[in-house]
Amino acid sequence: MARVFLGKLSRRLLGGHLWVYENEISRVEGDYENGEVVDLFRPDGSFFGKGYINDNSKIRVRILSRKNERIDGEFIKRRIEDALRKRKTLKDTNAFRVVHGEGDFLPGLIVDLFGDYAVVQITTLGMERMKSWVLDALIELLQPKGIYEKSSGTFREKEGLEDREGWIYGAGPELIEFEMNGLRFLADTKGQKTGFFLDQRENAKMVLDFAKDKVCLDVFSYTGNFAAHLLKGSARHVTLVDYSERSLEIAREILKMNGFENFDTITGNAFDILKDFDKSGKKYDLVVLDPPSFAKSSRSLESAKRGYKEINLRAMRILRKPGILVTSSCTQIVSEETFREILMDASFDTGTYLTVLKRGGQPSDHPVLLNVPETQYLKFYIFQVEKRW
């Protein structure tokens, strides 16, 4: 096993961060293949941890353990067992995130459970090499009817990996039914990420208190999570907007499954549709904004800030005053402070006051490890928007 010696240890690494960058390594002794587990040592030669290495990644080593222990199938199983113990308090759902990457000390691995089926996403070469161990542990611990792998995206490309999608254990439907907050939903194995955004589970439940008798707009609706909760909360009508006709087709199926009829859908670019609504004087009582990540890296921060301001500004303009704005950001590149500044700028330009009615974030099955700030990404607010002048 190769030995990786660190240079001067940063406060970040000493404080428990799991990522070692190239410039934090002083030398490597021994040969290794990318994706292999290596031993990490302090500058004085004392043991520091174990992790997997990849020369193709800016994050050269991702730490799996600070203990001098064997990394094998039993190790992976223990980590997943630990994650499951943390989720024992989850209620009112048969769907949750089983493993949340660094938040559960398994960097490169995401596992979501939807009823009797699990969906796995592997983003790193090191975790790819451990896939058989992951699979064995999930089969033993979850006893699912099927496991679907949905490993795709730019992260894999940067790690030198090809995309992989398909059933890797058992089999199941293309649309996996599950229950959440007293509603029936469908996870789309052909859709985004793992098929459903479970991280908005608790946030979507919050809108129930504000929906009654309101005419609502759900922008970037995907398959209708917020729309379903609004209708459960007795909204008068909900309009769903998304660029994907497939997602809206599934949303229509989900809403009908739950007995809802007072909704319609619009397929198109959300920016253009919000702009058209603003120009035409269209008004709503409540607007939900749940956009995808506008920033994949720090290089796209400025464009992301412009995007967030644009959609929030348009939403504030098309709200009847006072109205309700439900808004979120799902990228760790945009900090909580930055997101609040963006919202304040939009409020200033629209001549409105924003009163915080509810704040949210990630549920407990998407754990935030304070030692790894990158694990905190989801910001969520419900505002009352009223005229300032």
CATH number, domain with residue 255: 3.40.50.150
Q: How far apart are CA 332 and CA 290, in angstroms?
A: 15
User: pTM of the full predicted structure?
Assistant: 0.94
Residues 108, 217 within the same domain:
no
Whether 33 and 78 share a structural domain: no
Q: Per the residue annotation, which of 106, 216, 270, 330 is the catalytic one? A: 330
Q: Residue 321 is encoded by which pair of tokens?
A: 């005053």
- Whether the Cβ atoms of residue 212 and residue 240 lie closer than 8 Å to each other: no
Q: Which is nearest to 194 in space by CA: 278, 113, 315? A: 113
Q: Examine the domain organization and report whether 207 and 347 are in the same domain.
A: yes
* Together in a domain, 39 and 95: no
Say whether 330 is catalytic: yes
Q: Are 115 and 30 in the same domain?
A: no
Same domain, 142 and 53: no
Query: Is 34 among the domain residues?
Result: yes
Range of the domain at 148: 73-175
Phi, psi of 208 (to 5 degrees): -55, -35
Residue 192 lies in a domain: no
| 259, burial (CB in 10 Å: exposed 0-12, middle 13-18, buried 19+) | exposed
pLDDT tens per residue across all 389 residues of the chain: 899 999 999 999 999 999 999 999 999 999 999 999 999 999 999 999 999 999 999 999 999 999 999 999 999 999 999 999 999 988 878 999 999 999 999 999 999 999 999 999 999 999 999 999 999 999 999 999 999 999 988 888 888 899 999 999 999 999 999 999 999 999 999 999 999 999 999 999 999 999 999 999 999 999 999 999 999 999 999 999 999 999 999 999 999 999 999 999 999 999 999 999 999 999 999 999 999 888 777 788 999 999 999 999 999 999 999 999 999 999 999 999 999 999 999 999 999 999 999 999 999 999 999 999 999 999 999 999 999 87
